[in-house]
Amino acid sequence: MDLIQNFLRKKIVKNEKTLPSMNLAFQASLYYFYKQYHSSHLMPRFTIDEIRRKFSSGKDFNEIFDAFEDALSQSIQDVELYRLLFWNSALGPDELCLFGEKLAKEFPNLAYETYMWLASVFEVTYSMSDNFELAMQYYRKAALSKPEEVQPYLDAADCHDPELNIPPFYWLVEFLKLGINLVKDKKTLLHRLSYLYQMHGDQKQADFYRNLADDLRRNQN
């Protein structure tokens, strides 16, 4: 973060005592907008292959950040390229959220896939660092960006551990219920709700949602 903090000292922060109170995302955001403004008319700094290498195996945040900034300035909208960035083990949750949010804001057409990738990354790593809340946050964001898609709800349900009750059962069922009137594939969502209730021993609610799914299937035939 030396590069970012040096920039802040020179350009924005009048009182250096305020620097420690700025979190990583805020510091990087200020740096990003400054660099974006001053580089808008410059030639690309990196080739796509160089960006790919920095995303997949880079260890220095400043170098990865510069490659990300350059990818945005080149209007690169290849979600597979950014997927390498999200799986870079050198980046922590705050940094991943920073990159993901900026990517979704810059290219709204990539928002759904970006949120789904972030959710899947946090789902895999939550057992090590309690990131299940971030996984759920990004499944919710994905659902909001494409309300008709059932996959965010199904993937959120799939990461439930009934023995540990992680993510919390009550949170999951309320999330899935929100999607019933939004998704196209209502039958699949109703069956998943039934399964969750059955998993937790609530046979009455399990039967209720299974019957709703069966009624929907009969009406569609």
> By percentage, how much of the chain surpasses pLDDT 70?
78
Task: Identify whether 206 is part of a domain.
Answer: no
Task: Identify whether 176 is part of a domain.
Answer: no
* pLDDT tens digits for range 147-167: 999 999 999 999 888 888 888
Task: Identify whether 89 is part of a domain.
Answer: yes
- Please state the domain count of the chain: 1
Task: Identify whether 71 is part of a domain.
Answer: yes
Task: Identify whether 120 is part of a domain.
Answer: no
Task: Identify whether 76 is part of a domain.
Answer: yes
Task: Identify whether 33 is part of a domain.
Answer: yes
Range in 82-96, 117-131, 195-209 the model is least confident about: 117-131
| Angle of the 61-73 helix axis to the 2-11 helix axis, nearest 10 | 70
Residue 11 has pLDDT above 50, yes or no: no
Q: What is the mean pLDDT of residues 214-221?
A: 82
Residues 6 or more apart from 221 whose CB is under 8 A from it? none
Q: Domain limits at 65?
A: 1-9+24-106
Per-residue burial over 156-189, b if 16 or more Cβ lie within 10 Å, else e, is bbebbeeeeebbebebbbebbeebeebbeebbeb
Task: Identify whether 187 is part of a domain.
Answer: no
pLDDT of residue 24: 63
Range in 36-45, 173-182, 209-218 the model is least confident about: 36-45
Q: What is the mean pLDDT of residues 105-129?
A: 88
Strand partners, 218: none
